[in-house]
Amino acid sequence: MNDEIEEAVEEIISVVNVEREKIEEDLRRFIDYGVPLSQAKDAILHKYGKLSRERKIKDIKANERGINMVGKIIFIDEKEVEVRGEKRKIFRGLIGDETAIIPFTAWKNFDIKVGDVLRIKNASSSEWEGNPRLSFSEWTEITKLDYDIELIKRAPKKYNLIDLKVGLSNVEVRGKIVEIEEREVNIADEVRKVFSGIIEDETARIRFTSWKDFSLKKDQVYRIKGAYVRSWRGAPQLIFDENSDVEKLDEEIIREKRVVPIYKVVEAGGGIDLLIEGTILELRKDSGIIFRCPKCNRRVREGVCEEDGNVDAIPDLRIRALVDDGTGAVDVIFNREISEKILNRKMEEYISMAKETMDYDIVNEEIEDKIIAHLIRVHGDSIQSDFIVTIFAKDAEIISVDVEKEADELLTSLGD
């Protein structure tokens, strides 16, 4: 470690005009406080008004400060978020150099566009999905350069759609366009045309967005190279653009709906058109008879909607349950129609039951008795959720288990 510190001291004094003893004192103080050596060097260079050297993206790690680099914008979009009760516009995207590609978030409008080559000073990094992510703040300096740089060239890695996870880049997939629509979006005051829809292969369906007109057609099969995966409304989304290669294929894709292990859904962070099976382990809060606002459909508590104030709330029946298949667990939300189907009972019957006893909790007890520990098959899409992958059921059925038959099969297998 002493050799590394000595090397760092030499590197710093080659840049700043400060006595060696002072540099050593500053550096050891940072290290005594547990600051990593690389960050301590950057902090000292900033202290004496010298910028640290520019970094290659492959060397950037999570939770670093004072990052200086040169990179090319590969993708950018904007989003409105709420921070401490105030709405702010942020910009998210991908930036790359000849060594790697990394996602970023810009917390102000730097007026940057796809294809811009930028010199970035004093950025920071955080960890997202287990990988570093750059952050450009009020204290970040960004300068547009008038030359181009080469992006990392590596062969894209092939994936089935079921294996795509948020954060992957440079992926190669093949799939059939199931739905497609064209629309215009405004990115940093520039109107751009995008094409979005759903693509499927034999393993799964996934939403996609193309930032270039590749003349995509519905029901046509394509091979797409150089795409990346982002999260959209709680599910992975395939993104490709002018840096991607799209090839039309003369082949058929026939997708058969198959049950997906829940760990696959959890790893991917969600999905669309999912089919899962698992055991219902827990009835979540907000299940049973709830009341909704007739204007905005939000849940109403004690006759008050947080959006519309005092309203004549209308009743609804909903189940939110934890479903586990032994490989993972997700929350599933069943609307009134599906809840009545799996409970084999109408909402009006539950309301009558609650009014007779003057207790709505009795409804939840009845629901628990009917569904807990039962095996269920669910078809649906994941929705945005902060803590656990949540699937909104489009259909569901309780699966009957022939206990005697399973016992016979088990005994037969043990006897073999």
Examine the pLDDT at 406 and tell me if it is beyond 70: no
pLDDT at 82 over 80: no
Q: Which of 339, 325, 322 is nearest to 390 (CA)?
A: 322
Q: What is the pLDDT of residue 1?
A: 57
Three state DSSP letters for the chain: CHHHHHHHHHHHHCCCCCCHHHHHHHHHHHHHCCCCHHHHHHHHHHHCCCCCCCECHHHCCCCCCCEEEEEEEEEEEEEEEEECCEEEEEEEEEEECCCCEEEEEECCCCCCCCCCEEEEEEEEEEEECCEEEEEECCCCEEEECCCCCCCCCCCCEECCHHHCCCCCCCEEEEEEEEEEEEEEEEECCEEEEEEEEEEECCCCEEEEEECCCCCCCCCCEEEEEEEEEEEECCEEEEEECCCCEEEEECCCCCCCCCCCCHHHHHHHCCCECEEEEEEEEEECCCCEEEEECCCCCCECECCEECCCEECCCEEEEEEEEEEECCCCEEEEEECHHHHHHHHCCCHHHHHHHHHHHCCCHHHHHHHHHHHCCCEEEEEEEEECCCCCCEEEEEEEEECCCCHHHHHHHHHHHHHC
pLDDT of residue 413: 64
Band (81; pLDDT cuts 50, 70, 90): confident
Q: How many CB atoms lie within 10 A of CB 59?
A: 13
Indicate whether 353 pLDDT > 60.
yes
CA gap 23, 10 in Å, rounded:
9
How many other C-beta atoms are found inside a 10 Å radius of the C-beta of residue 413? 8
Instruction: Look at residue 19 in the predicted model and tell me its pLDDT.
Output: 86
Q: How far is 231 from 222, CA to CA, in rounded Å?
A: 22
What gap in Å lies between CA 120 and CA 67, rounded to an integer?
8
Percentage above 90 pLDDT, the chain: 46
Q: What is the tens place of the pLDDT at every residue in 189-232?
A: 778 889 999 999 999 999 999 999 999 999 999 999 989 898 88
User: Bigger pLDDT: 233 or 316?
Assistant: 316
- Going by pLDDT thresholds of 50, 70 and 90, the confidence category of residue 155 is confident
Q: pLDDT at residue 416 above 60? A: no
Answer whether residue 29 shows pLDDT above 90: no
Please give the pLDDT value at position 306. Answer: 85
Under the banding of pLDDT at 50, 70 and 90, the label for residue 161 is very high
Q: What is the mean pLDDT of residues 64-81?
A: 87
CA atoms within 13 A on the CB side of 232: 16
Question: What is the spatial distance between Cα 113 and Cα 142, in angstroms, rounded to a whole number?
Answer: 12
91 within 8 A of 188, measured Cβ to Cβ: yes
Position 49 scores a pLDDT of 67
d(CA 135, CA 66): 11
Query: In sequence order, which residues have a C-beta less than 8 Å from that of residue 301 and are 6 or more positions away?
Result: 291
The Cα–Cα gap between 188 and 402 comes to 60
| Mean residue pLDDT across the chain | 87
User: How far is Cα 50 from Cα 288, in angstroms, rounded to an integer?
Assistant: 63
Distance linking the first and last C-alpha atoms of the chain: 62
Given a contact cutoff of 8 angstroms between Cβ atoms, the answer to whether 328 and 261 are in contact is: yes
The pLDDT tens digits of the residues spanning 102-147 come to: 889 999 899 998 889 999 988 999 987 678 899 998 888 899 998 8
Judged by average pLDDT, the poorest of 36-45, 309-318, 347-356 is 36-45
pLDDT at residue number 388: 87
pLDDT at 401 over 80: no
> What pLDDT sits at residue 289?
93
Cα 51 to Cα 200: distance, rounded to the nearest angstrom: 48
